[in-house]
């Protein structure tokens, strides 16, 4: 069983299936939040359904929108289960805290290379820990 | 995080439920970023566009506004750039959707809370502004990078709920760009050409943003040629923020914390990467569109200033926008009214364009607008808008204002 250590995160512990790529992430720029799919054609996860998955991506990018949007996505059941990023920015952290969506970043390795799409994960933000159960 | 007596009493509920929620929320974000303590702020800018807030955000505001006054007293001055109030244009852009009615709930709630809903987008110049070195709680990414880089105030991205929290506590967690060390350059760039237009400056920002792609990166840029205008710096800055989440930058010899390389870099030596005209050309080539039918021209992001509207009126005077193309010119309501007084709006409207106030194209249901009209090809002078509108299914072409207007008249993307 592999285990990866990140910085202490935000939100509750969860278990679920990973959807991973090395691309960056913005809720506004990259997602069709009504259909629950990645909508930016140049994104490696283009066309993938992200709802209920643990999104594993490189860095948070772009603007202010994610802070409000994550809570609305949770309300509409159109949110990922959790976010694992190499680098979050303040907007993503503020959004995760507002939505109580699990988020961990700053791992001891490139998390997008360590985790594959389809991996079964247990994540514990309070400890900054990700376990691969696959 | 270390809390002082006041902050601890907020956490314990002695200053009302709004402050209690706010300090607890800010502490969780501050802990995430290893903040040691809080820093007081005087001015707040709150991003509250209806699209991003969603029903959940509006409901949250309404819950706070319904509290008795003693449970929700503010500790700072806040403005909100709430948008969506050009009723006539919005009825045209998205028929069947009553955004005005939908927005009214949020505006009422913000007003009850004591937030000044100024309706201007990125009101860096028009509302009380922080001074050099002052900590502030600004929300919009363009405003934050503007305050840090151009004004020399100190700010992290304090997005919607975060700036709302700062409104109730009068402070923000002290991490990131509130700290001296984080403001020094981490990467260096040198332009070996002079950008010709604000769009070129926006492309420079996009190229730097793509290369760095981290909130914690601070580019320092050496330029040749004339000193850039604030508008040019603003286009570069908001484009860096859009493409790379950049919140702080220096231009050597221009911005206030970069009188020279050594000061900008905090004594470090960085080797600059050169950006050339060919890098810009490659960026423009990515988007193409020449010869294609043009559905919409959106001149926004940031909303236009008066000289730009003068320029558009001059370009349109005596011409007519093609009937298959929609021309939208976005500006704050104060500028729109001033332009109306000197006849500029009439020139643009007689030519078939629309002068739109109060909301920005990309921020107000641009995807739904595209679907309602069957639009694809969009032109804009905002490289940030290009980035966002691509995600909303448009095929955007970045171009300077004259080429945008000439294309709108022709009904197709001119080379």
Q: What is the CATH number of the domain that holds B110?
A: 3.30.499
Whether B277 and B292 map to the same domain: the answer is no
Which ipTM value was assigned to this complex?
0.93
Domain CATH for A100 = 3.50.30.10
Task: Tell me the CB-side half-sphere exposure of residue B206, using CA atoms within 13 A.
Answer: 21
Whether B334 and B239 map to the same domain: the answer is no
Whether B76 and B174 map to the same domain: the answer is yes
Domain coverage including residue A29: 2-132
Using the predicted structure, report yes or no on whether residue B126 has a pLDDT greater than 70: no
Residue to test with chain A: of B27, B28, B30, B32, most A Cβ within 10 A: B32
Last residue of a domain, one of B148, B180, B212: B180
Q: Which two tokens stand for residue B248?
A: 């702080």
The tens digit of pLDDT for each residue in A3-51 reads: 999 999 999 999 999 999 999 888 877 888 889 999 888 899 999 999 9
pLDDT for B282: 97
Side by side, which strands form the sheet with B296-299?
B354-357, B326-331, B296-299, B377-380, B395-398
Taking the C-alpha atoms of residue B244 and residue B225, their distance in angstroms, rounded to an integer, is 26
Average pLDDT, chain B: 92
The total number of structural domains that make up chain A: 1
Task: Give A28→chain B minimum CA distance, Å.
Answer: 7
Question: Which of B117-131, B244-258, B309-323 has the lowest average pLDDT?
Answer: B117-131
Using the predicted structure, report yes or no on whether residue B121 has a pLDDT greater than 70: no
Q: Which two tokens stand for residue B66?
A: 């319904």
- Position B127 confidence tier, pLDDT thresholds 50, 70, 90: low
For the residues B363-388, what does the mean pLDDT come to? 93
Under a CB-based contact definition with an 8 Å cutoff, are residues B309 and B335 in contact? yes
Which residues make Cβ contacts (< 8 Å) with residue B67, sequence separation at least 6? B16, B17, B18
Tokens 């907020």 — which residue? B10
Whether B332 and B400 map to the same domain: the answer is yes
Taking the C-alpha atoms of residue B349 and residue B331, their distance in angstroms, rounded to an integer, is 14
Whether B218 and B295 map to the same domain: the answer is no
Domain coverage including residue B258: 185-284
Q: Is B29 within 8 Å of A63 when comparing Cβ atoms?
A: no
Q: Which two tokens stand for residue B15?
A: 């200053």
pLDDT for B118: 67
pLDDT for B313: 98
- Position B69 confidence tier, pLDDT thresholds 50, 70, 90: very high
Last residue of a domain, one of B219, B251, B284: B284
Using the predicted structure, report yes or no on whether residue B320 has a pLDDT greater than 70: yes
pLDDT for A132: 95
Does residue B15 form part of some domain?
yes
Last residue of a domain, one of B180, B214, B232: B180
Whether B300 and B214 map to the same domain: the answer is no
In chain B, the percentage of residues whose pLDDT exceeds 70 is: 96
In chain B, the percentage of residues whose pLDDT exceeds 90 is: 75
For the residues B40-52, what does the mean pLDDT come to? 87
Q: Is B57 within 8 Å of A9 when comparing Cβ atoms?
A: no
Average pLDDT, chain A: 92
Using the predicted structure, report yes or no on whether residue B83 has a pLDDT greater than 60: no
Distance of CA A4 to the CA centre of its chain: 15
The tens digit of pLDDT for each residue in B392-414 reads: 899 999 999 999 999 999 999 99
The tens digit of pLDDT for each residue in A103-127 reads: 999 999 999 999 999 999 999 999 9
Q: Is B242 within 8 Å of A67 when comparing Cβ atoms?
A: no
Q: Is A87 within 8 Å of B214 when comparing Cβ atoms?
A: yes
- What is the rounded (10 degree) CA torsion for B82, B84, B88, B91? -170
Angle at B182 between CA B382 and CA B201, to 5 degrees: 20
Under a CB-based contact definition with an 8 Å cutoff, are residues A42 and B395 in contact? no
Domain CATH for B327 = 3.30.499.10
Taking the C-alpha atoms of residue B135 and residue B205, their distance in angstroms, rounded to an integer, is 25
pLDDT for B355: 95
Tokens 């949770």 — which residue? A74
What residues of A are in contact with residue B28 (Cβ under 8 Å)?
Answer: 10, 97
Q: Which two tokens stand for residue A39?
A: 């909508």
Phi-psi region of B374 (alpha: psi -120 to 50; beta: other; left: phi over 0): left
The total number of structural domains that make up chain B: 3
Which of B32, B159, B244 is opposite residue A64, by nearest beta carbon? B159
Taking the C-alpha atoms of residue B400 and residue B403, their distance in angstroms, rounded to an integer, is 6
Does residue B228 form part of some domain?
yes
For the residues B203-232, what does the mean pLDDT come to? 94
Taking the C-alpha atoms of residue B144 and residue B242, their distance in angstroms, rounded to an integer, is 12
Does residue B415 form part of some domain?
no
Whether B274 and B295 map to the same domain: the answer is no
pLDDT for B41: 97
Helix spans in B172-305 (H): 198-212, 230-244, 261-264, 277-287
The tens digit of pLDDT for each residue in B85-103 reads: 688 888 899 888 887 777 7
- Closest chain B residue to A103, measured at CA: B32
Whether B24 and B145 map to the same domain: the answer is yes
Using the predicted structure, report yes or no on whether residue B177 has a pLDDT greater than 90: yes
What residues of A are in contact with residue B55 (Cβ under 8 Å)?
Answer: 72, 75
The tens digit of pLDDT for each residue in B258-310 reads: 999 999 999 999 999 999 999 999 999 999 999 999 999 999 988 898 999 99
Does residue B118 form part of some domain?
yes
Taking the C-alpha atoms of residue B114 and residue B109, their distance in angstroms, rounded to an integer, is 9
Model-level pTM?
0.89
Which of B57, B140, B392 is opposite residue A68, by nearest beta carbon? B57
The tens digit of pLDDT for each residue in A55-98 reads: 999 988 767 778 899 999 999 999 999 999 999 989 999 999 99
Q: Which two tokens stand for residue B84?
A: 């969506």
Task: Give A81→chain B minimum CA distance, Å.
Answer: 18
Taking the C-alpha atoms of residue B241 and residue B231, their distance in angstroms, rounded to an integer, is 15
Using the predicted structure, report yes or no on whether residue B383 has a pLDDT greater than 60: yes
Residues 291-310 of B with CB under 8 A from A: none
Q: Is B387 within 8 Å of A62 when comparing Cβ atoms?
A: yes
Whether B399 and B369 map to the same domain: the answer is yes
Question: Which of B29-38, B325-334, B342-351 has the lowest average pLDDT?
Answer: B325-334
Whether B98 and B164 map to the same domain: the answer is yes
pLDDT for B124: 58
Phi-psi region of B289 (alpha: psi -120 to 50; beta: other; left: phi over 0): left
3-state helix, strand, coil in chain A (%, to 5): 20, 30, 50
A28 reaches B (C-beta below 8 A):
yes
């Amino acid at each position: 069983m592999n285990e990866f250590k990140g910085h202490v995160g935000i939100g509750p512990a969860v278990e679920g299936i990973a959807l991973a790529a090395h691309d960056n992430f913005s809720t506004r720029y990259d997602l069709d939040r009504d259909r629950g799919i990645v909508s930016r054609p140049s994104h490696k996860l283009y066309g993938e359904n992200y709802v209920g998955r643990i999104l594993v991506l490189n860095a948070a990018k772009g603007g202010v929108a994610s802070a409000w949007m994550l809570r609305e996505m949770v309300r509409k059941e159109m949110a990922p289960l959790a976010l694992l990023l190499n680098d979050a920015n303040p907007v993503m952290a503020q959004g995760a805290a507002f939505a109580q969506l699990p988020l961990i970043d700053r791992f001891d390795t490139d998390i997008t290379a360590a985790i594959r799409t389809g991996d079964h994960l247990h994540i514990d933000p309070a400890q900054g820990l990700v376990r691969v159960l696959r | 995080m270390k809390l002082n007596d006041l902050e601890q009493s907020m956490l314990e509920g002695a200053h009302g439920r709004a402050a209690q929620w706010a300090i607890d929320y800010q502490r969780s974000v501050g802990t995430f970023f290893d903040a040691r303590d809080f820093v007081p702020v005087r001015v707040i800018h709150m991003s509250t566009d209806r699209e991003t807030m969603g029903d959940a955000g509006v409901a949250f505001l309404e819950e706070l506004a319904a509290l008795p006054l003693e449970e929700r007293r503010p500790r700072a001055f806040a403005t909100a750039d709430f948008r969506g109030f050009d009723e006539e244009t919005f009825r045209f852009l998205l028929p069947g959707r009553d955004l005005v009615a939908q927005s009214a709930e949020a505006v009422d709630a913000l007003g009850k809370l004591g937030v000044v809903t100024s309706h201007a987008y990125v009101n860096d110049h028009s509302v009380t502004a922080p001074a050099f070195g002052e900590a502030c709680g600004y929300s919009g990414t363009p405003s934050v990078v503007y305050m840090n880089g151009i004004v020399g105030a100190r700010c992290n991205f304090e997005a919607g709920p975060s700036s709302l929290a700062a409104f109730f506590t009068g402070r923000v967690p002290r991490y990131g760009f509130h700290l001296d060390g984080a403001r020094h350059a981490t990467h260096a760039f040198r332009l070996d050409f002079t950008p010709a237009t604000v769009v070129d400056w926006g492309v420079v920002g996009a190229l730097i943003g793509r290369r760095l792609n981290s909130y914690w990166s601070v580019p320092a840029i050496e330029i040749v040629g004339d000193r850039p205008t604030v508008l040019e710096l603003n286009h570069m800055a908001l484009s860096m923020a859009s493409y790379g989440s950049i919140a702080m930058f220096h231009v050597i010899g221009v911005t206030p914390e970069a009188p020279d390389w050594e000061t900008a870099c905090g004594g470090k030596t960085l080797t600059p990467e050169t950006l050339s005209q060919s890098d810009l050309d490659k960026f423009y080539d990515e988007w193409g569109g020449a010869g294609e039918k043009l559905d919409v021209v959106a001149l926004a992001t940031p909303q236009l200033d008066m000289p730009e509207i003068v320029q558009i009126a001059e370009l349109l005077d005596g011409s007519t926008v093609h009937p298959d193309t929609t021309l939208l010119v976005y500006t704050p309501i104060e500028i729109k009214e001033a332009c109306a007084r000197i006849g500029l709006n009439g020139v643009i409207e007689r030519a078939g364009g629309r002068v739109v106030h109060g909301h920005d194209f990309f921020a107000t249901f641009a995807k739904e607008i595209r679907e309602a009209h069957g639009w694809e090809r969009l032109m804009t002078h905002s490289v940030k808008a290009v980035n966002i509108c691509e995600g909303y299914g448009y095929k955007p072409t970045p171009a300077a204002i004259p080429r945008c207007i000439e294309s709108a008249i022709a009904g197709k993307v001119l080379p």
